[in-house]
Amino acid sequence: EDQVTQSPEALRLQEGESSSLNCSYTVSGLRGLFWYRQDPGKGPEFLFTLYSAGEEKEKERLKATLTKKESFLHITAPKPEDSATYLCAVQTWYGNKLVFGAGTILRVKS
Amino acid sequence: GAVVSQHPSWVICKSGTSVKIECRSLDFQATTMFWYRQFPKQSLMLMATSNEGSKATYEQGVEKDKFLINHASLTLSTLTVTSAHPEDSSFYICSAGFRGGQETQYFGPGTRLLVL
């Protein structure tokens, strides 16, 4: 069974304090790994798609990396507006649906 | 680009009534649309996958007769919650995938349903 585990469940950072979120996965054949950001009461907002081990993508203060077993979302010098729930999801070659992790709730305090 | 809308954003209804939620891809044609349900402080749970012009594929445990899905065009899918009950109260979110290749799903803003 395909599984996605995110850690930590919650993370509190001071503004400017860099950190990383982890997404470990067990799938039969990875087609793509997706990172989304979700604000309370809203739908997830697409951030990145990673397709193969060693791939990296960046957007502003966020950088996503991928290995054969896990992905990291690195947040550099976060700001309060980065506070949100970050969701990781995998898609396999056996179907086009996404399997989501439980998410990491990030709070950045000024 | 890749904007998905949902309507309505909020709905309150009486127990026993039916509620229809629309999901539209505004600037692209969606190969597939997905419907999710999210309970407070939980992650997204896939309910069904819908392809234009064909029957939806429901996840295990999701009642087909209760959650009716219609995918009439490449830009519109609807979810109808029939004979809604308080336990159906939830946050319903749709997503749409680009046609072809390695699909990224883009999500709508969600619909909050409250059944009294």
Per-residue model confidence as pLDDT tens digits over B75-110: 999 999 999 999 999 999 999 987 654 578 999 999
User: Mean of the pLDDT values across residues A25-30?
Assistant: 91
Chain B touched by A109 (CB under 8 Å) = no
Is B10 within 8 Å of B111 (Cβ atoms)?
A: yes
User: Taking 70 as the threshold, does the pLDDT of residue B11 lie above it?
Assistant: yes
Chain B touched by A36 (CB under 8 Å) = yes
Is B69 within 8 Å of B48 (Cβ atoms)?
A: yes
Nearest residue of chain B to residue A34 (CA atoms) = B104
User: Taking 90 as the threshold, does the pLDDT of residue A107 lie above it?
Assistant: yes
- Distance separating alpha carbons of residues A31 and B105, to the nearest angstrom: 13
Query: Does A65 or B40 have the greater pLDDT score?
Result: A65
B14 to chain A, closest Cα gap in Å: 22
Q: Enter the tokens of residue B84.
A: 């809604």
User: Mean of the pLDDT values across residues A36-46?
Assistant: 96
Q: Which of residues 37-76 of B touch A (CB under 8 A)?
A: 42-44, 46, 49
**φ/ψ (deg, to 5) at B86:** -50, -30
Is B21 within 8 Å of B78 (Cβ atoms)?
A: yes
User: Taking 60 as the threshold, does the pLDDT of residue A5 lie above it?
Assistant: yes
Q: Enter the tokens of residue B83.
A: 């004979």
CB atoms within 10 A of CB A2: 16
Nearest residue of chain A to residue B51 (CA atoms) = A96
- Best mutation target among A36, A96, A99, A104 (most B Cβ atoms within 10 Å) is A96
Tell me what pLDDT residue B30 has.
Answer: 85
Chain B touched by A78 (CB under 8 Å) = no
- Best mutation target among B6, B21, B24, B43 (most A Cβ atoms within 10 Å) is B43
User: Taking 90 as the threshold, does the pLDDT of residue B28 lie above it?
Assistant: no
Query: Does B98 or B13 have the greater pLDDT score?
Result: B13
Question: pLDDT grade, residue B1 (50/70/90)?
Answer: low
Is B103 within 8 Å of B3 (Cβ atoms)?
A: no
Question: pLDDT grade, residue B2 (50/70/90)?
Answer: confident
Nearest by CB to A34, which of B32, B34, B104? Answer: B104
Which residues have a Cβ under 8 Å from the Cβ of A80 and sit 6 or more positions away? A15, A108, A109, A110
User: Mean of the pLDDT values across residues B55-82?
Assistant: 93
Query: Does B103 or B6 have the greater pLDDT score?
Result: B6
Chain A touched by B13 (CB under 8 Å) = no
Tell me what pLDDT residue A66 has.
Answer: 97
- Distance separating alpha carbons of residues B71 and B77, to the nearest angstrom: 4
A37 to chain B, closest Cα gap in Å: 11
